[in-house]
Amino acid sequence: MSNERKVPELSLLSFIHGNSTEKAQFVDKLYSGIKDYGFIILVDHNITQDVIDNGYGAVKNFFMQAEEQKKKFVSPSGGGQRGYTPFGTEHAKDNPHKDLKEFYHVGREVSEDHKFYKYYPNNIWPEVAGFKENLLNLYSSLDQTSIYLLDALGQALDVPQSYFRDMIDVGNSVLRAIHYPPVGDAPPAGSIRAAAHGDINLITILMGATASGLQLLDRDGEWLDVNTKEGQLVVDSGDMLSRITNEIIPATIHRVINPDDSGSERYSMPFFVHPNPEAMLECIPSCVGDGAKYPPISAHEALMQRLEEIGLK
């Protein structure tokens, strides 16, 4: 494989503000990039750098605290859907080795009289200056980014504009703030920062991490380094998108490898774009081909199955 092969870079602003030709080019490049590579990089987008920087600042201040302090913010309901998940809890599907990371989840907030309230645990807010405000700002901005991206993918898949918008309206999307501590001189045998896995959701939007290590499994079966510049976003496809496209867009397998410098740490913040719990995941008409490979399933049911497989339920 040529060393020239690299993840496609696209301008989201060309889709948001461009003319009809620029919009159409973005749709084509997004679809072919996600389908052929599994990842694309957005070189520009709708999120200001200060929103990103303030989010990372708050997250670092949380993870710098002592373990006993952080554990006060583990969700009492279990499942890791909100709040803090301690180091060495999660593992990749079908992999017994724990990942070398700790993380914090912030999810959708709805009022108690909302029909989805029963599905969404309350967020848990630590006493860290600016944490709630900055993480909610980031969540809101990424939520809007997801609408633009799925509008564009929807055009490529020949569905009405309302298709993905209805699916993710008040969706169960989750912002995950991850801290990968220094691995030390003797990391546990078989464990890396994040073992090879596909995400559960429709798409994942990942803000450029503070250190390298992210690799994707190219559609040709080779691991490809994904290196981004400050302010860029990485977008990849998840299991739910694979399911509704009949695997025309496969879920992207990726991992975070251990660094050469055993004393270095890494932060990253993926935004997992989920449908609302009652949305039905069924094959998109343009993808049926010789027949749908999967029966319809609700987004909530699909999520619960997967949380069990990765040790969070």
Q: What pLDDT does residue 2 have?
A: 41
Spell out the residues 6+ positions from residue 218 whose beta carbon is closer than 8 angstroms to its own: 1, 5, 37, 38, 224
Q: Closest by alpha carbon to 79, among 174, 169, 201, 143?
A: 174
Say whether pLDDT at 191 is over 70: no
**What confidence category does residue 271 fall into, taking pLDDT thresholds of 50, 70 and 90?**
very high
Query: pTM of the prediction?
Result: 0.90
Would strands 39-44 and 9-11 be described as parallel, antiparallel, or unpaired? parallel
Question: For the chain, what are the domain ranges?
Answer: 9-309
Confidence tier at 244 by pLDDT (50, 70, 90):
very high
pLDDT at 194 over 60: yes
Q: Which residue has the higher pLDDT, 292 or 261?
A: 292
Residue 121, burial from CB neighbour count under 10 angstroms (0-12, 13-18, 19+): middle
Q: Give residue 97's pLDDT.
A: 64
pLDDT at 187: 57
Query: Which long-range contacts (C-beta less than 8 Å, at least 24 apart) are formed by 52-56?
Result: 52/138, 52/207, 52/231, 54/130, 54/134, 54/137, 54/138, 55/134, 55/135, 55/137, 55/138, 55/177, 55/207, 55/269, 56/207, 56/210, 56/267, 56/269
Q: What is the arithmetic mean of pLDDT over 136-147?
A: 97
Average pLDDT value for residue range 157-185: 90
Torsion of CA 230, 231, 232, 235, to 10 degrees: 120
The verdict on domain 9-309 having CATH code 2.60.120.330 is: yes
pLDDT band (50, 70, 90) for residue 189: low
Length of the chain (residues): 313
User: Is the confidence at residue 45, as pLDDT, over 70?
Assistant: yes
pLDDT digits (tens, 9 = 90+) for 97-118: 677 788 999 999 999 999 999 9
pLDDT value at 204 more than 90: yes
The stretch 16-22 carries a mean pLDDT of 97
Higher pLDDT, 77 or 223: 223
